[in-house]
Amino acid sequence: MDNIAGTKSSLTWAVHLSVALLVALWLFPTVGLFVSSFRTADQIATNGWWKALFPSEQNLTLRTDSPETQVQQGALYVIEGNLFAVDGRPVDEATVSAWGTSSRDIAAYEPGDVAEVDDGATLTVDDAGNYRMEGPAEFTGRRGERVFVVATTPPELTFENYRNLLFSGRNTDGMVNAFFSTMTVTIPATVIPILIAAFAAYALAWMDFKGRALLIALVVGLLVVPLQLALIPLLKLHLAIGIGKGYLGVWLAHTGFGLPMAIYLLRNYMAGLPRDIIENARVDGATEFQIFTKIILPLSFPALASFAIFQFLWTWNDLLVAKVFLIDATGQTTVMTAQIVDLLGTRGGNWEILATAAFVSIAVPLFVFFAMQKYLVRGLLAGSVK
């Protein structure tokens, strides 16, 4: 817009740079969690996730194979193998930069050096982690010799966390159960208010009756009533009429809390539809019910979609309403948000579990967000700009 008068802003590069910085800053936290969910517990604890994409230098404590595997070569007893090998096969392409046999000096030797272990036995480790330990006497003991290694390991990402959280047989953390609970809460709580609100919005937008202005003012007022106020009275009501804590209660609560927003959004949208269409239909003898179902509802699709996304995000991400109206003492119906808060308490240090659980719960809303962003923005604008 600043180019209109023919003066190309000299600040363009600064704008690009600042936007890039802003985006990076806003994206950074989420990326951190995302990357962490693909790292093993050891990796997370060893260094920051921002180093996950580069080779990292680690201090490792490894062991040679046990004396059972020794072979006799002439007068010498020899144990050979690779320090990084798990179950006999090499795993990753780590590079040894220094190694040692004592915890007091873990970088005592260069790769290729020969170290005296004890009783005349010697050990040598090359930069790929291959070692050869040889001695004049038979090696004894159950376990192999301890070797300390300073090694550069390549970045490694794994789906292990997701497999453990979602598919492992002993699903101790109950995320799968919570995922389905959240689904069960969300879908009816999104669908039911739409229909109720659509009828009310039509009446408020296109029907003439006494008290209409008052009702609209009431809806606008209820838009901002904090739902904290509703918690005790409604819980009391639910307990009194036998709904108790459960899905039915949480569906009803979400329906009630979502209605003001739904009516407000839909009424504003419907009031903006062209008057001609509706009056022509009336002249042609269509009943109000027909006008609503055949004309208004299809034309209002964008507004319906906007509200549906709002309500979906809100119910999926909700913690408070679920805690009050749904989750009972048995904990069978716990939703993902509540499950994650529990994990924060019990598994506060286990970032591989936390990050994965959080990302499982975030993934669906993020998908909806990127797929339906157009409607979300439209709804926000209709809901706020006066």
Partner 1 sequence: MNSALQAVLTILIGLGGCISYFYLSNLLLDKVICRPTGPNAGRNINRANLIRPWLFLFPAIFALGVYLAYPVFETLRLSLTDRVPGGGYRWAGLSNYTQMFNEPKFWEAMRNNMLWLIVVPAASTAFGLLAAQLTDRIRWGGIAKSLIFMPMAISFVGAAVIWKLIYDARPIDQAQIGVLNAIYIALGGDSPQNWLTIPFWNNFFLMMVLVWIQTGFAMVILSAALRGIPEETVEAAIVDGANPFQIFFRIKVPQIRTTILVVWTTITIIVLKVFDIVYAMTNGQWETQVLANYMFDKLFRANDWGIGSASAMIIMLLVSPILVWNVRNARKEMR
Q: Among residue numbers 38 through 57, which ones bind partner 1 (CB under 8 A)?
A: 44-50
Site string for partner 1, 145-184 (x = CB under 8 A): -----------------------------------xx-xx
Q: Return the beta strands (E) in the chain as ranges.
A: 56-63, 71-73, 76-82, 95-100, 114-116, 122-125, 130-135, 146-153
Told to check if 67 binds partner 1 by CB under 8 A, we report no
Least spacing, CB of residue 158 vs partner 1, in Å = 17
Q: Output the CA–CA distances (angstroms, integers) from residue 98 to 7, 146, 304, in the order listed.
A: 61, 14, 64
Distance, in Å, from the CA atom of 41 to the CA atom of 38, rounded to the nearest integer, reads 10
Closer to partner 1 by Cβ: residue 226 or 274: 226
Give the range of 82-90, 119-127, 273-281, 317-325 binding partner 1 by CB under 8 A: 317-325
Told to check if 226 binds partner 1 by CB under 8 A, we report yes
Give the range of 100-108, 109-117, 162-170, 195-203 binding partner 1 by CB under 8 A: 195-203
Q: Output the CA–CA distances (angstroms, integers) from residue 21 to 34, 137, 208, in the order listed.
A: 20, 64, 53
Q: Which of 165, 243, 259, 291 binds partner 1 (CB under 8 A)?
A: 259
Least spacing, CB of residue 64 vs partner 1, in Å = 27
Least spacing, CB of residue 210 vs partner 1, in Å = 9
Q: Long-range contacts: 27-31, Cβ < 8 Å, 24+? A: 30/362
Distance, in Å, from the CA atom of 344 to the CA atom of 284, rounded to the nearest integer, reads 62
Told to check if 337 binds partner 1 by CB under 8 A, we report yes
Least spacing, CB of residue 83 vs partner 1, in Å = 22
Q: Which two tokens stand for residue 214?
A: 């008052």
Site residue total, partner 1 (CB under 8 A): 120
Distance, in Å, from the CA atom of 12 to the CA atom of 24, rounded to the nearest integer, reads 18
